[in-house]
Structure 1
Amino acid sequence: YHFEEFHGIYILIKLEEIVIAVDMEVIDATGYVLILETDWLRKAYTIIDYQEYKLILKDDK
């Protein structure tokens, strides 16, 4: 992987056979959940179902 300069942390997320490199920033927050960046979600072909509170990952094939 090639990463540009970044002042957060890099995480490898493995979901079954899918491995995705993502960059993350830690923020000081309590009491709520935020998804601020969707780059890794796009890479994992994710559908966000807000009604059912689910993340659905689809295979890219």
Structure 2
Amino acid sequence: MSIGKYLTNMGVIGALFGALGTARQAQSMPRDWRRFLVWGVWAAGLVLAIVGVAKQLDDEQFEAE
């Protein structure tokens, strides 16, 4: 597996840049459970983008059949 395909994927790049907006939003929030929820949603989006890239080869092979 090459890390380059993850670093050049627009979904992963967008999810990583989403951390900037999440950080700004979390700074203005009170320090309670909602802050952790915001970061958890961001982390879930990043994981989904990474898994999407990982499964891309499987999808291409399935379409070829």
Q: How high is the TM-score relative to the length of structure 2? A: 0.29
Larger Rg: 1 or 2?
A: 2
Q: How high is the TM-score relative to the length of structure 1? A: 0.30
Higher relative contact order (CA 8 A, sep 6+): 2
